[in-house]
Structures are given as C-alpha cells and as structure tokens.
Amino acid sequence: MKRHAFADLFKRYAKIFRHAWSQRKETDAPDLHPHEAQFLPAALSLRDTPVHPAPRITLWLIMTFALIALLWTIFGRIDVVATAVGKIIPNDRTKVIQPMETAVVKAIHVRDGQEVKLGQLLIELDATSAAADSERLRNEALTAQLEALRAQALLASLAHGVPPKLQPLDGVDAARLLAEQSQTTGQYQEYQARQRQLQDGIIRRRAELQTTQEQVTK
C-alpha cells in the first residue's frame, strides 16, 4: 500500500514537473525594447526593462582585476633593492686609467664590462684647455726665439758697427718680423745714443781734469 501511494505521489509530481517544464517559456517576460517598456504599468516596466550593461561590465572588471592581482601575488616576483654605504675593493687584475693632466671627458666609447683590445679608443677628452696651453707655449717659444734672434743681431751690429738686421725665422709672418726689426733698430739706436752720451761725458771730464791740473801747476 505504501509503495503504491509513493508511486502515485511520484507520478503526480512528475506529471506536474513535465507540465511546468513545457510551459516555462510562457512565463518568461517578453523581450522588449526600453522605449516599449515605458508604456507598461510601473511594476511591469520595472520588471521588463532591460538592465543597463554598465553594472555588469563594472562587476566583470572588478573580478578580472582581482583575479590578476591574485595571480600576480602567486607567480609574480619583486626585486628587493637595498641601499648601503660601502667601498668596492677589487682583488686583482686592475689598472688605473687616467690622463697625465686633468681634463673634461667629451665622450665615452666603451660600456661597463665590455672587453677591449690593445690600442682601442676608450674615452675622448676635451682638448680645448690643452689646445690653449699648446698655443700659449708655442707663442712663448716663438717669443724666446725672436729675443735670441734680436740679441744675436745686436751683438753682430756692435761687432761690425752696422745697423742690425734680423734674419727670417720659420713660423713668423712678415708683419711680426718687421715689428721685431723696428724694435731691434730702436734698441741699437738707443745704445748708440747712450754710447755717444757717455763718450761726450768722458771727453768733458777729461777737459775738466786737464783744466784743473793746469790750475794746480800755476
């Protein structure tokens, strides 16, 4: 009896389920456009109006970012950078590379850790200061050569009693050589004037001495 009762109950519920399943499409709300749902009653309009996609998209974005953050915490790696004060002391095979004089580095042609060859250009220094020093030293050397040339010309003129004449010198243009010649001639003329002045003084002193001696003799 109980089995038959349970069987009848199961059949009845199965029949009800089949009927409800066959009628499930009829209970669904019609697929309306937003402007069509505005003409329904308030309750039906609220029920049948399509949901705006923004909340759903926002929810999916939040879930996606949460999943990415979770995966990053599991598989990601973060480098820990520590800052400390210290000094690097190499063990061996080191060589100090430095110029003979301090200068400004114009260009670096190698990278850190790069293998270099003998004679390879490593760095390029700014030659502005060195070029200025080289020009200054060249001018000083040329000035010393001109002074020596003037001295030789003066000695030769004094020995032979003729005005000095400078010989051409390599690296000296005609204008500067003419200026040096004029300066040497001026020195020679000044020396001659001074010498004549001294000779006149000697003659005058001798005349005075002779006059004094004659007065003493009388």
- So what's the pLDDT on residue 75? 86
Tell if the pTM clears 0.75, that is, is over it: no
* Chain CA centroid to CA 218, Å: 98
- So what's the pLDDT on residue 68? 94
Residues 6+ apart with CB under 8 A from 42: none
- So what's the pLDDT on residue 30? 62
- So what's the pLDDT on residue 2? 66
Domains of the chain by residue range: 31-68, 131-217
CA 156/CA 162 separation, integer angstroms: 8
* Residue numbers of the chain with a pLDDT score lower than 70: 1-2, 24-40, 42-51, 99, 101, 218
Give per-residue pLDDT as tens, 20-48.
777 766 666 666 666 666 666 766 665 66
- So what's the pLDDT on residue 130? 74
Strands 105-108 and 123-125: what pairing?
antiparallel
As to burial, measured by CB atoms within 10 angstroms (0-12 exposed, 13-18 middle, 19+ buried), residue 171 is exposed
13 DSSP β-pair partners: none
Residue 52 per-residue DSSP state: P
Nearest to 164 by CA among 146, 137, 183, 140: 183
- So what's the pLDDT on residue 47? 62
- So what's the pLDDT on residue 62? 96
